[in-house]
Structure 1
Amino acid sequence: MKIALFSDIHANLPAFEAMLQDMDNQKPDAVYCLGDLVGYHIWPNEVIAEIRKRGIATLKGNHDEKVEKLTTTPENLKEPGKKYAYHLIEESGREYLRTLPAHIKLEYKQNDDQFNLVFAHGSTRSIDEYILIDTEENYVLDMMQEANADVLFVGHSHKPYHRVVSTPGGKFKHVVNLGSVGKPKDGDQRACYVMLTLNRNSSILDKDSIHVEFRRVEYDVEKAAKAIETSLLPREFAEALRLAK
């Protein structure tokens, strides 16, 4: 089974379209989005519309959550500011973002073995918590035990990694950060997403039986950056795309 997972589009439509084209070529059996459809860019409505058109199961990210606190009319709209990115969102899109869940859990039972995949935006404890590659191991294990997670997928930090942690019982826990489609922060401009492959021998007893592939997709970064510079958004957002920081 092939599962495509992505996160942190941040209204960057050129990056999202390029990622989707590559993803479609991979022919995944299932697709999940871990949130942050909006913020930082000018195409939130187009991104939301495509997610809904495809029926992609999606979590609420911390930027998606911000729409719940918005008033109908933005403050100081004539002045460039971060709030402008959220006030671009149409009411139907805002209502959609308000209804998104915090977590998704998939339970697998095969070969007399059971393992659980858990999806969260920041962490299973908080929508805006960073689970990094060097987050203290015991903290990660405690959190995963609390959530009954054997394989945990997160986003939020925009820095992709696959970390395998062994337990005293001889089992292996996996933590995967999907990176970011629309706003990478790892020095690589390309959109990032994950293809997860599971087979009938996949097990938490064999750390190599769960295959995680990070796919990087080129897109027109300059087009995306210039679209920011001709909007009311801060120009620093455009430079962040160019530097992938």
Structure 2
Amino acid sequence: MKIALLSDCHGNIAALESAMKIVESQKTDQIYFLGDMVGYYPNPNECLEIAKKHNCLMGNHEYACIHPSYSKLFNSAAQNAIRWTKNNLTVDNIDYISKLSYTLEDMDAKIKMAHGALTNPFEYIQSKVTAFANFELFTEQILFIGHTHRAAVWTQSLNEPYDIKLTEVWESFTFDLESDKRYIINIGSVGQPRDGNPNGCFVIFDSLEKNIRFIRFEYPIEVTYQRALDAGMDSMLCNRLFAGI
């Protein structure tokens, strides 16, 4: 089974459409979106219409759209973007995101998925301590996450469960799974990478070949940049796309 996993599109339809062209060329059996289809950029409805054809999780930006007080935790640019997004989402899409789950499982592929973490839906897994706490909460070999906008692989040895290693992924990269290891895979961001590489990122998991492929892809950043400016969004959000930060 070949599965595509995408996260953190954030209303960047130009990036999502570019990613989906690659996904379609790979003849995947299943597609999952791990949350944050909305926020930051001006095409949340278009992104959600694509997500609705597949399976999607609740991200913190969807949560902020239906629980406005939560957005107080965001910086001012993100707060303004959430207000814009909430005001521009269709009634159907507001209803759709309000019903999204925090976790998903694919029983056939034997994987678990969350937006941020299992310990807390919107927690960032950025330390070995947090990674270990999350390894304790799933039995599958792999947990796929997003949220940090930085692609990464956390690896736990079954023989030494406290021996957890982090591998950050900045470019396209494929690796084979090892039977004596468990993994937390951060699939990166389609619409707003923050690892210094402006190219979008997503993952394809092949459960038969037992490998995971990180795909970095180019998209017309200038299109999203101009659309966001025209919508009155913060220039910082627009400019950061070119730097991948």
TM range (shorter): 0.7 to 0.9
Q: Secondary structure at the match of 2:201?
A: strand
**4+ residue stretches of structure 1 with deviation over 4 A?**
none
Q: Secondary structure at the match of 1:195?
A: strand
Aligned to 2:145: 154
Give how far 1:242 is off.
1.3
Q: How does 1:104-143 map to 2 (within 5 A)?
A: 104-107=104-107, 116-132=110-126, 135-136=127-128, 139-143=130-134
Q: Secondary structure at the match of 1:32?
A: strand
Q: Does 1:173 find its partner at 2:182?
A: yes
Give how far 1:227 is off.
1.2
Give how far 1:198 is off.
1.4
Q: Does 1:99 find its partner at 2:99?
A: yes
Q: State the one-letter code of the partner of 2:148.
A: S
Q: Secondary structure at the match of 2:212?
A: strand
Deviation digits for residues 148-199 of structure 1 (CA, Å, limit 9, x no counterpart):
2421100000000123220227831111101001111111111111011111
Q: Secondary structure at the match of 1:81?
A: helix
Partner of residue 69 from structure 1, selected from 57, 60, 67: 67
Q: CA RMSD in A?
A: 2.0
Aligned to 2:233: 233
TM-score normalised according to structure 1 size: 0.83
Is contact 2:65-2:85 (8 Å) kept? Answer: no
| 1:162–1:42 distance in 2 versus 1, CA, 3 Å | same
Give how far 1:68 is off.
1.1
Q: State the one-letter code of the partner of 1:194.
A: V
Q: How does 1:184-203 map to 2 (within 5 A)?
A: 184-199=193-208
TM-score normalised according to structure 2 size: 0.83
Aligned to 2:170: none
Is contact 2:131-2:154 (8 Å) kept? Answer: no
When Rg is computed on C-alpha atoms for both structures, the one with the higher figure is: 1
Q: Provide the rounded CA distance (Å) in 1 between the counterparts of 2:23 and 2:89.
A: 26
Count of matched residue positions in the alignment of Structure 1 and Structure 2? 217
Give how far 1:143 is off.
2.1
| Structure 2 runs not aligned, ≥5 long | 70-78, 161-178
Give how far 1:127 is off.
1.9
* Aligned-pair identity (%): 27
Q: Does 1:81 find its partner at 2:80?
A: yes
Aligned to 1:204: none
Q: State the one-letter code of the partner of 1:168.
A: N
Give how far 1:126 is off.
1.4
Give how far 1:219 is off.
0.7
